[in-house]
């Protein structure tokens, strides 16, 4: 098996080298001046088009990307009427989302999602937003306020060549508004029929060489029980139910979250910008239905994110930045453990043009992580070997070569070293062909490899819970013996086209191979089960995504369909994830009507979602139809707006959906009516 | 072959690959005389503005069948205009004129507006004049010289439109956008198409100016 993998790896590397040399030589030979991406061929509308940065770490037009990207704009967010990021993400092609409690969600690009979504990399302004303990992101702990988001870029497919570990199935990059895009005072408050509130205030200003923004918010979500839901549903065997008495517990999933976020930019010169920022989130939450339901008091999550960045335009087509960012978390969950961690990361990137046909980006980072875990109760999780000091370092090279007027080749390669796991590499090689002179129609062919490195929790967690007498426990987890990185390879083809003025079409297909997926093995010592993380399975996935949108002054109409046929090699091996829904459909309609009225509708269908659970049982989440409607009326020359709406009109996404190790769960409120008032000065 | 041996070779490959690429490409990049992406985009905007602007008949008849873009101040465009250097726009050849700093331009010249110096007259002959950030201090003087001579003034400093400039570039996130002062355009005698106004983030008209003054 190793010999086969080694052979495949070698072939991929040699293929990469061959293509690089082949097309590289051709590019150097031509030396044409078709670089600058034919900006002079573009219309004014095209020049003002949305740029994206997540595909290759530099702004690019959507039609030029080496990987499929969908963009959720601030307008999409605003008129959805929604108040959290995962709910908004579900209306994007290829994104799987399940609600697990009132505030916890499983989100994954092309599936393989869990409540920490550790196979999709989440970034805020290109900076990591992952937990080094679990590897994924918990959106409710992020100090980001919805109306501060400029756009969310969703990259579908292995993207480790640009972003490193965990950009395994995709990347979600949340990009916040710059102060100059949000000048003045802003206030917004939303209230639901259950008494949930979401309030956000902001002030942004530009003075001489300074631009700055400060935001604060408060979110209050009631318990499911208090919101007309909280129905208990068990998926345990009768014996476990009798032992644990799950049915006697009520849903306790409230959240009160205070958030703060601030950012400042100083234009040191025409070419140099210094920026820094800090954000803080404090979430008081109810019990965590995790690893069995053990009511033990409310939890507390505190997260602080901060950064400082120096950007410089060297002229001559070169620019670069140096940045530090630090993420700090302090959390206490009585039913699980108390932990705190810090991530310090130094990162640099240089962009330059070479030989008139190369758009090159090189860079690297070094990250230092420290984790402390406290076990306050014998049944809480503990970690063998803590506290942990871990270091990561990575280097990358991205080169976009303009081969001719029509052809371009983008190569991304990145190597990452990890002190506690294995060193690995990732790549993406994409060939793009413009079918017409105006580049309104582009074909894309790509190969990619990415990896996911196991973080601290799957490597080192140790627990014994539910005493059955004689010092023995009914539920046991032990540290992994040795975990290797998960690997994935993809072959992709896609088309991006501008079919008519304001009408765009994107079609992407892919085959993706997964190797060494991590899950949990289960062995018995007598009658008692013991779980260990291990590389237990592989899988194949075939899929396609089709997205069409027409957007103009009257509004927006968009439709998408996503197909994903995911087949694990050995079914029911517990790869600790939801599998993607095979069929997903989305529709959006937004109409700007006379007299300041706006109507917005979002619809999403997701087919049956299968879950391979911890103890190798299959759990299904039902197919779902979701419809959100919303009407807004502006007043006072657009300075004010009133909005009313309903989310999940069909009341079909209220669960419960079972997450990792959950032995019991409660349903959550589905259909929710809400009202919102916003003011700007 | 052992997996560890393959990995070792791969790491060596990656390191060598990165090193060789950096060594080969970086010097060429720094030597290349091309401009930043931001100014390539802005150059393309200027090219587009020409296509959607109407100049007074006298101005159009003048200038040896050329359309000229003037750049005054420390030129940030570099080679951004190279792709259209020899091309025609509106059936006229496009010419880029770089004037350097205003203080140098007027050195020794008569500052009496009734007898404009030869150098400042060259500014008035431009169809489009881009005023660089280095000219913030002299902005009002430059605008005063060209304001009634059919020049589409474009700049990006904070008070550019208040000083009487016609189009101001702004940056929103990673995008280039622009604002238009229609009052100044009218005074200059240039007509900016509705296709430009439709995409402007802000348009100053008599009405909006009145609102502001109320």
Give the tens place of pLDDT for each residue, A152-168. 999 999 999 999 988 99
**Given CB atoms, is A1 within the 8 Å cutoff of chain B?**
no
Q: What is the mean pLDDT of residues A635-654?
A: 88
Q: Which positions 475-504 of A are in contact with B (Cβ < 8 Å)?
A: none
Could you tell me whether strands A441-452 and A486-500 are parallel, antiparallel, or unpaired per DSSP bridges? antiparallel
B11 and B27 fall within a common domain: yes
Find out whether B137 and B158 touch, Cβ atoms under 8 Å: no
What pLDDT is attached to residue A35? 36
B82 and B5 fall within a common domain: no
pLDDT of A115 higher than 50: yes
pLDDT of A665 higher than 80: no
Least confident of A53-62, A112-121, A175-184, A230-239: A53-62
What pLDDT is attached to residue A136? 87
Q: Which of A264, A98, A170 is nearest to A655 (CA)?
A: A98
B64 and B5 fall within a common domain: no
B149 and B68 fall within a common domain: yes
Which residue matches tokens 């219309």?
A43
Instruction: Indicate whether this complex's ipTM tops 0.90.
Output: no
B65 and B168 fall within a common domain: yes
Q: Tell me whether the omega of the peptide bond preceding residue A387 falls within 30 degrees of 0, making it cis.
A: yes
The model's confidence at residue B176, banded by pLDDT at 50, 70 and 90, is: confident
Q: What average pLDDT does chain A have?
A: 85
pLDDT top residue among A412 and A526 = A412
Q: Other CB atoms closer than 10 Å to residue A297's CB: what's the count?
A: 12
Q: Which positions 69-108 of A are in contact with B (Cβ < 8 Å)?
A: none
Question: CA A361, A166, A537, A510: dihedral to nearest 10 degrees?
Answer: -50
Q: What is the DSSP letter of A104?
A: -
What pLDDT is attached to residue A19? 46
Could you tell me whether strands A555-568 and A597-606 are parallel, antiparallel, or unpaired per DSSP bridges? unpaired
The minimal CB distance from B195 to the residues A9, A44, A415 is found for A44
Q: B77-100: b or e for each residue (b if 16 or more CB lie within 10 Å)? A: bbbbbbbbeeeebeebebbbeebe
What pLDDT is attached to residue A528? 87
What pLDDT is attached to residue A468? 82
What pLDDT is attached to residue A197? 96
Q: Which positions 408-447 of A are in contact with B (Cβ < 8 Å)?
A: 413, 415, 422-423, 425
The token pair that represents B183 in the structure block:
């009052």
B76 and B27 fall within a common domain: no
Say how far apart CA A320 and CA A308 lie, in whole Å: 14
Find out whether A585 and A604 touch, Cβ atoms under 8 Å: yes
Name the closest residue on chain B to residue A12, using Cα atoms: B10
Phi-psi region of B164 (alpha: psi -120 to 50; beta: other; left: phi over 0): left
The token pair that represents A305 in the structure block:
């994110």
Where does A281-347 have alpha helices with state H?
A: none
Say how far apart CA B54 and CA B191 lie, in whole Å: 5
pLDDT of B33 higher than 60: no
Q: Domain containing B118 — which CATH number?
A: 3.40.50.2300
Q: Which residues of A touch B33 (CB under 8 A)?
A: 316
Beta-bridge partners for A343: A327, A369
CA-to-CA separations, A129 to A79, A117, A142, B53, B80, in angstroms, rounded = 26, 12, 8, 47, 37
**Given CB atoms, is A174 within the 8 Å cutoff of chain B?**
no
What pLDDT is attached to residue A500? 84
What pLDDT is attached to residue A446? 96
Rounded to a whole number of angstroms, the distance from the CA of A519 to the nearest CA of chain B is: 22
Superfamily (CATH H level) for A31-680: TonB-dependent receptor, beta-barrel domain (2.40.170.20)
Tell me how many residue pairs between chain A and chain B have CB atoms under 8 A apart: 143
The minimal CB distance from A395 to the residues B10, B18, B134 is found for B18
Which residue matches tokens 């989100």?
A107
Q: What is the mean pLDDT of residues B43-57?
A: 88
Could you tell me whether strands A105-109 and A95-99 are parallel, antiparallel, or unpaired per DSSP bridges? antiparallel
B9 and B67 fall within a common domain: no
The minimal CB distance from B11 to the residues A33, A314, A415 is found for A415
Least confident of A403-417, A585-599, B50-64, B69-83: B50-64
The model's confidence at residue B206, banded by pLDDT at 50, 70 and 90, is: confident
pTM of the predicted model, to two decimals?
A: 0.77
Highest-confidence segment of A286-300, A562-576, A648-662: A562-576
What pLDDT is attached to residue A496? 92
Least confident of A541-555, A606-620, B133-147: A606-620
pLDDT of A584 higher than 90: yes
pLDDT of A213 higher than 80: yes
Residue A26, helix vs strand vs coil:
helix
**Given CB atoms, is A358 within the 8 Å cutoff of chain B?**
yes
What pLDDT is attached to residue A65? 82
What pLDDT is attached to residue A409? 94
The model's confidence at residue B214, banded by pLDDT at 50, 70 and 90, is: very low
The minimal CB distance from A181 to the residues B29, B33, B172 is found for B172
pLDDT of A78 higher than 70: yes
The model's confidence at residue A189, banded by pLDDT at 50, 70 and 90, is: very high
Say how far apart CA A635 and CA B131 lie, in whole Å: 38
B42 and B28 fall within a common domain: no
Q: What is the mean pLDDT of residues A22-47?
A: 53
Least confident of A227-241, A397-411, A446-460, A543-557: A227-241
B14 and B83 fall within a common domain: no
The residue segments making up the domain with residue B28 are 1-32
The model's confidence at residue A26, banded by pLDDT at 50, 70 and 90, is: very low
The model's confidence at residue A2, banded by pLDDT at 50, 70 and 90, is: very low
Say how far apart CA A567 and CA A550 lie, in whole Å: 35
Q: What is the mean pLDDT of residues A614-632?
A: 76
Please count the structural domains in chain B. Answer: 2
Find out whether A634 and A640 touch, Cβ atoms under 8 Å: yes
Rounded to a whole number of angstroms, the distance from the CA of A462 to the nearest CA of chain B is: 29
pLDDT of A558 higher than 80: yes
CA-to-CA separations, A610 to A26, A519, A526, A579, A650, in angstroms, rounded = 48, 15, 30, 5, 22
What pLDDT is attached to residue A520? 84
The minimal CB distance from A353 to the residues B7, B15, B34 is found for B34
HSE at residue A519, side-chain half, CA atoms within 13 A, is 28
The minimal CB distance from B41 to the residues A39, A314, A399 is found for A39
- H/E/C letters for each residue in chain B? CCHHHHHHHHHHHHHHHHHHHHHHHHHHHHHCCCCCHHHHHHHHHHHHHHHCEECCHHHHHCHHHEEEEEEECCCCCCCCCHHHCCCEECCEEEEEEEEECHHHHCCCCCCCCCCCCHHHHHHHHCCEEEECHHHHHHHHHHHHHHCCCCCEEEECCCCCCCCCCCEEEEEECCEEEEEEEHHHHHHHCCEECHHHHHHCCEEECHHHHHHHHC
Rounded to a whole number of angstroms, the distance from the CA of A67 to the nearest CA of chain B is: 19
pLDDT of A422 higher than 70: yes
Q: Tell me whether the omega of the peptide bond preceding residue A656 falls within 30 degrees of 0, making it cis.
A: yes
pLDDT of A615 higher than 50: yes
pLDDT top residue among A612 and A161 = A161
Q: Which residues of A touch B22 (CB under 8 A)?
A: 362, 397
Beta-bridge partners for A424: A416
pLDDT of A59 higher than 70: no
What pLDDT is attached to residue A322? 97
Find out whether A101 and A253 touch, Cβ atoms under 8 Å: yes
Rounded to a whole number of angstroms, the distance from the CA of B211 to the nearest CA of chain A is: 12
The token pair that represents A616 in the structure block:
């190798």
What pLDDT is attached to residue A281? 97
Least confident of A19-33, A277-291, A515-529, A565-579: A19-33
What sign has the CA pseudo-torsion B43, B48, B52, B55? positive
The model's confidence at residue A600, banded by pLDDT at 50, 70 and 90, is: very high
The DSSP result for A209-229, as a single string, is TEEEEEEEEEEEE--TGGGT-
- H/E/C letters for each residue in A151-183? EEEEEECCCHHHHCCCCCCEEEEEEECCHHHCC
CA-to-CA separations, B208 to A23, A364, B87, B203, in angstroms, rounded = 55, 49, 38, 8
Beta-bridge partners for A205: A212
Q: Other CB atoms closer than 10 Å to residue B212's CB: what's the count?
A: 8
Q: What is the mean pLDDT of residues A614-639?
A: 79
The token pair that represents A446 in the structure block:
């790509």
Least confident of A211-215, A262-266, A593-597: A593-597
Q: Other CB atoms closer than 10 Å to residue A385's CB: what's the count?
A: 11
What pLDDT is attached to residue A158? 95
Find out whether A70 and A156 touch, Cβ atoms under 8 Å: yes
The model's confidence at residue A63, banded by pLDDT at 50, 70 and 90, is: low
What pLDDT is attached to residue B105? 82
B41 and B27 fall within a common domain: no
The token pair that represents A146 in the structure block:
């919805």
What pLDDT is attached to residue A20? 43
Residue A278, helix vs strand vs coil:
strand
Share of chain A above pLDDT 70, in %: 86
Say how far apart CA B51 and CA B94 lie, in whole Å: 12
């Amino acid at each position: 098996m190793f010999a086969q993998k080694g052979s495949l790896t070698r072939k991929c590397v040699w293929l990469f080298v061959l293509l690089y040399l082949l097309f590289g030589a051709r590019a150097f030979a031509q030396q044409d001046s078709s670089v600058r991406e034919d900006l002079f061929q573009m219309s004014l509308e095209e020049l003002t088009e949305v740029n994206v940065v997540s595909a290759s770490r530099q702004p690019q037009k959507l039609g030029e990307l080496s990987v499929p990207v969908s963009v959720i704009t601030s307008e999409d967010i605003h008129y959805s009427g929604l108040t959290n990021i995962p709910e908004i993400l579900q209306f994007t092609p290829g994104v799987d989302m399940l609600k697990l409690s009132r505030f916890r969600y499983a989100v994954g690009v092309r599936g393989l999602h869990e409540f920490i979504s550790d196979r999709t990399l989440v970034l805020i302004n290109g900076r990591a937003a992952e937990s080094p303990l679990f590897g994924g992101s918990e959106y409710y702990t992020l100090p980001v306020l919805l109306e501060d988001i400029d756009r969310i870029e969703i990259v579908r497919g292995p993207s480790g060549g640009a972003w490193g570990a965990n950009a395994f199935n995709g990347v979600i990059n949340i990009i916040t508004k710059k102060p100059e895009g949000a000048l003045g005072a802003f206030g917004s408050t939303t209230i639901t029929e259950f008494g949930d509130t979401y309030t956000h205030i902001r002030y942004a200003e530009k003075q001489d060489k300074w631009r700055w923004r400060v935001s604060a918010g408060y979110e209050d979500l009631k318990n499911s029980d208090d919101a007309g839901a909280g129905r208990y549903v068990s998926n345990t065997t009768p014996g476990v139910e009798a032992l644990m008495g799950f049915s006697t517990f009520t849903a306790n999933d409230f959240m009160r979250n205070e958030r703060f976020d601030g950012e400042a930019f100083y234009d040191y010169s025409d070419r140099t910008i210094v920026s820094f920022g800090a954000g803080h989130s404090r979430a008081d939450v109810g019990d965590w239905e995790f690893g069995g339901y053990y009511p033990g008091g409310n939890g507390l999550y505190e997260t602080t994110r901060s950064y400082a960045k120096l950007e410089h335009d060297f002229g001559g087509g070169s620019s670069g930045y140096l940045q530090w960012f630090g993420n700090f978390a302090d959390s206490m969950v009585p039913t699980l453990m108390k932990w705190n961690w810090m991530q310090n990361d130094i990162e640099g990137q240089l962009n330059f043009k070479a030989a008139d046909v190369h758009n090159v980006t090189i860079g690297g980072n070094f990250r230092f992580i420290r984790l402390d875990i406290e076990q306050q109760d014998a049944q809480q999780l503990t970690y063998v070997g803590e506290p942990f000091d871990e270091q990561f370092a990575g280097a990358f090279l991205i080169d976009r070569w303009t081969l001719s007027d029509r052809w371009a080749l983008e190569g991304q390669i990145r190597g990452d070293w990890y002190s506690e796991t294995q060193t690995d590499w990732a790549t993406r090689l994409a060939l793009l062909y413009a079918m017409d002179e105006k580049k309104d129609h582009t074909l894309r062919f790509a190969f990619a490899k990415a990896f996911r490195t196991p973080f601290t929790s799957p490597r080192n967690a140790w627990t014994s819970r539910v005493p059955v007498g004689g010092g023995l426990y009914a539920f046991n987890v032990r540290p992994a013996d040795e975990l290797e990185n998960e690997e994935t390879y993809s072959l992709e083809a896609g088309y991006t086209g501008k079919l008519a003025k304001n009408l765009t079409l994107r079609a992407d297909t892919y085959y993706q191979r997964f190797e060494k997926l991590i899950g949990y093995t289960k062995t018995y010592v007598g009658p008692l089960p013991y779980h260990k993380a291990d590389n237990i399975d592989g899988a194949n996935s075939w899929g396609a995504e089709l997205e069409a949108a027409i957007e103009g002054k009257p509004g927006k109409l968009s439709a998408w369909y996503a197909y994903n046929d995911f087949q694990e090699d050995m079914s029911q091996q517990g790869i600790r994830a939801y599998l993607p829904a095979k069929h997903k459909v989305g529709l959006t309609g937004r109409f700007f009507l006379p007299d300041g009225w706006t109507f917005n509708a979002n619809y999403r269908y997701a087919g049956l979602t299968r879950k391979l659970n911890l103890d190798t049982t299959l759990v299904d989440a039902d197919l779902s139809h979701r419809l959100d409607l919303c009407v807004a009326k502006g007043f006072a020359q657009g300075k004010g707006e009133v909005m009313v709406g309903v989310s999940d009109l069909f009341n079909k996404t209220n669960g419960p959906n079972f997450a990792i190790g959950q032995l019991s769960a409660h349903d959550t409120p589905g259909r929710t009516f809400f009202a919102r008032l916003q003011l700007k000065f | 072959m052992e997996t560890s041996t393959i990995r070792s070779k791969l790491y060596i490959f990656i390191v060598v690959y990165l090193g060789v690429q950096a060594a080969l490409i970086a010097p060429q990049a720094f030597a290349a005389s091309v401009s930043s992406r931001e100014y390539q985009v802005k150059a393309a905007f200027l090219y587009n503005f020409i296509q959607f602007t109407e100049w007074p008949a006298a101005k159009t008849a003048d200038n040896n069948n050329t359309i000229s873009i003037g750049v005054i101040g420390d030129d940030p465009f570099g080679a951004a205009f190279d792709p259209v250097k020899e091309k025609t726009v509106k059936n006229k050849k496009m010419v880029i004129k770089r004037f350097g700093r205003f203080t140098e331009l007027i050195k020794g010249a008569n500052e009496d507006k009734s007898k404009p110096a030869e150098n400042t007259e060259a500014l008035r002959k431009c169809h489009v004049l881009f005023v660089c950030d280095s000219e913030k201090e002299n902005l009002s003087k430059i605008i005063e010289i060209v304001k009634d001579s059919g020049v589409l003034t474009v700049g990006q400093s904070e008070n550019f439109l208040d000083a009487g400039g016609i189009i101001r570039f702004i940056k929103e996130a990673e995008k280039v956008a622009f604002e238009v002062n229609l009052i100044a355009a009218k005074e200059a005698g240039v007509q900016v198409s509705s296709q430009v106004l439709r995409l402007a983030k802000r348009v100053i008209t008599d009405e909006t100016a009145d609102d502001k003054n109320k």
